[in-house]
Amino acid sequence: MSEEKKSLNFIEQIIEEDLSKGLDKSKLRFRFPPEPNGYLHIGHAASICLNFGLGQSYNAPVNLRFDDTNPTKEEQEYVDAIKQDIKWLGFEWAEELYSSDYFQQLYDWAILLIKKNKAYVDDQSSDEIAVQKGTPTQVGSNSPFRDRSVEENLALFEKMKNGNFEEGSHVLRAKIDMSSTNMLMRDPIIYRVLKKSHHRTGNDWNIYPMYDWTHGESDYIEQISHSICTLEFKNHRELYNWFLDQVYDDNNLRPKQREFARRNLSYTVMSKRKLLQLVEEGLVNGWDDPRMPTISGLRRRGYTPKSIRDFSETAGIAKRDNVTDIALLEFHIKSELNKITPRVMAVLDPVKVVITNYPENKEEILIAENNPEDENAGTREIPFSREIYIEKEDFREQANKKFFRLKLDKEVRLKNAYIIKANSVVKDENGEINEIHCTYDKDSKSGSGSEASKRKVKGTIHWVSIEHAVQAEVRLYDRLFTDEAPDSHKDKDFKEFINPYSLKIIKNAYVEPSLKSAKIGERFQFQRLGYFNVDDDSKTEHLVFNRTVPLRDSWAKMEQKK
Ligand code: ATP
Ligand code: MG
């Protein structure tokens, strides 16, 4: 048992403790509360995996609650995208709920606060209110409107609601303590006038509740046992509890807010506001651009739900802020794709090879294993002929002993095929190599069992038969930012660190003919090049592949060095 306990994260430990103190297990209930003001990112995945993971471990319901109290930034498009992403990650919510469904209840409770003399309407501007707030080292001062009568407050709040006041002219504030050491307790605003149409409630409301007032009370309405949020809300916990105190009835469960560290990832930014800037300024091609750290970007890039869940699990839940290396995410997608993807051959930067002793009109069909990691993956046919493409960088006229690819007068094995030897090159007027002339050892066919087939040569390279190859577009991605923490620089905007080479488009790549019928979303290992998937832009007559991740494993190397 103690073994098992050790692996619990600190949130699970808190829950275990609550259960041991008598909390009924059937009362456990969680929620994931996104604001529909953008697409979900890999940071949200941490919260999703945590909350829905708790739901699974304790067999407890997890609500999806849209925290939609700010009509200026929220849209139905985002609601739809968020739902799609959570489902794709493999999770099911118990109920789909909206904070806006509670607008009436929140309003009624605000009236209650006024009646208890715990809230008042303030006629001051936000600047005046800010000045009176004081500073962390200096207490605030009371608003001149703080001691209004209950009747006057009720009348003014009603007018706010009815749209009789302009935006910014009046707010409703909780009457707490202008000298509290916690600045958030200094009479926080609970309602503001906002004459905006809401994506669900239309023009029903001229006032909208603030986050703090909404969040805790929504947790209470839904009877969420553990309301898990990120560390920046730690200071809000006192206010969360104060608001709960105002409505709590001890026949009900009292929600508990607990905080964990946000997931940060190196070489990217993780804030919807910043990601929106990239989209709006055209610095990326939309929210699902494969370079984006969004769930939809990762999906389009070829990531699997499992790789993201595994990453979230390994990266863990922390109490302190930290940055997770993006190589860990890459490690997880590589380990999974290694197990599940068929191997194929593609040449991204082709140079022509002519096998001079291979008969001119001959073609033969070679048989290759689809996936050596999976014995059930079967085999496929690859055509071979006299003229093939190999990668330019796999050939050098001269090279030192460490170059295990093709060079003049030396041999190399063509993957799944024969051993060839380079004899001469044909160059154009600029000295560029147009053709490499080779001869092949006709007895060296891979898997034929002959003596020659077992001959050891140092290198193996990939290739495609020119006559049979299919032309394709291949998109190679690099990090979107050149800096490890692009938004950590005080004097520089994060966009200054955008990597100008984050996308490289290759129009004239060639893939083996078995890929002709590849469908959008299908994943492959292009041997020696990396893992690729078929992009959403792909068409039968114009295949488009994304490189999900190269083969090189930087994470494993880093771990070894430690
Ligand atoms: P952003 O700054 O990207 O807009 P947010 O916190 O405002 O993030 P919400 O939609 O309010 O985004 O977040 C929904 C839930 O996801 C919240 O509980 C929030 O704490 C959590 N969350 C958001 N970003 C991260 C992150 N980087 N790591 C872990 N959890 C996160
Ligand atoms: Mg937010």
In this prediction, the residues of the chain whose per-residue pLDDT falls under 50 are 1-5
527 phi and psi angles, rounded to 5 deg: -55, 135
What is the reported pLDDT for 48?
A: 98
What is the reported pLDDT for 7?
A: 82
What is the reported pLDDT for 1?
A: 40
What is the reported pLDDT for 163?
A: 97
Per DSSP, the residues of 293-308 read SBHHHHHHHT--HHHH
List of long-range contacts for 440-449, beta carbons under 8 Å, 24+ apart:
440/355, 440/357, 440/358, 441/411, 442/357, 442/418, 444/413, 444/418, 444/419, 445/366, 445/417, 445/418, 446/366, 446/413, 446/415, 446/416, 446/417, 446/418, 447/367, 447/416
Query: Which residue owns the Cα nearest ligand 1 atom 18?
Result: 229
Environment class of 223 (CB within 10 Å of its CB; exposed 0-12, middle 13-18, buried 19+): middle
Q: Is the CB of 350 under 6 A from ligand 1?
A: no
Single-letter amino acid code for the residue at 39: Y
Pick the CATH number of 352-377+390-462 from 2.40.240.10, 2.60.40.720, 3.90.1170.50, 3.40.50.1100: 2.40.240.10
SS3 state of residue 421: strand
Could you tell me the CA-to-CA distances from 9 to 20, 225, 260, 263, 427 in Å, in that order? Answer: 16, 17, 10, 15, 63
C-alpha 469/C-alpha 510 separation (Å) is 6
Q: Which ligand is nearest to the CA of 263?
A: 1
Per DSSP, the residues of 438-495 read EEEETT--TTS--TGGG---S-EE--EETTT-EEEEEEEE--SBSSSSGGG-TTS-GG
Environment class of 276 (CB within 10 Å of its CB; exposed 0-12, middle 13-18, buried 19+): middle
Q: What is the pLDDT of residues 395-409, one digit of tens each?
A: 999 999 899 999 999
Residues of the chain within CATH 3.40.50.620 domain(s) are 25-260
CATH-assigned architecture of domain 25-260? 3-Layer(aba) Sandwich (3.40)
Q: Which ligand is nearest to the CA of 81?
A: 1
384 phi and psi angles, rounded to 5 deg: -125, 145
What is the reported pLDDT for 73?
A: 86
Residues of the chain within CATH 2.40.240.10 domain(s) are 272-342+472-561, 352-377+390-462
Q: What is the pLDDT of residues 180-225, one digit of tens each?
A: 999 999 999 999 999 999 999 999 999 999 999 999 999 999 999 9
C-alpha 304/C-alpha 330 separation (Å) is 11
468 phi and psi angles, rounded to 5 deg: -100, -15
Strands 343-344 and 523-526: parallel
As a CATH number, domain 272-342+472-561 is 2.40.240.10
What is the reported pLDDT for 552?
A: 79
- 326 contact partners, CB below 8 Å, separation of at least 6: 265, 266, 267, 268, 479
If one residue of 31, 35, 39, 44 were mutated to test the ligand 1 pocket, choosing by the most ligand atoms within 8 A of its CB, it would be 44
Looking at the CA of residue 38, tell me the nearest atom of ligand 1: 4
Catalytic residue IDs: 35, 262, 272
C-alpha 277/C-alpha 99 separation (Å) is 26
Query: Which residue owns the Cα nearest ligand 1 atom 9?
Result: 34
Nearest CA among 43, 58, 48 for reference residue 12: 58
Q: Residue 320, Cβ neighbours under 10 Å: how many?
A: 7
pTM over 0.85: yes
What is the reported pLDDT for 2?
A: 43
- For 232, the token pair is 């920046």
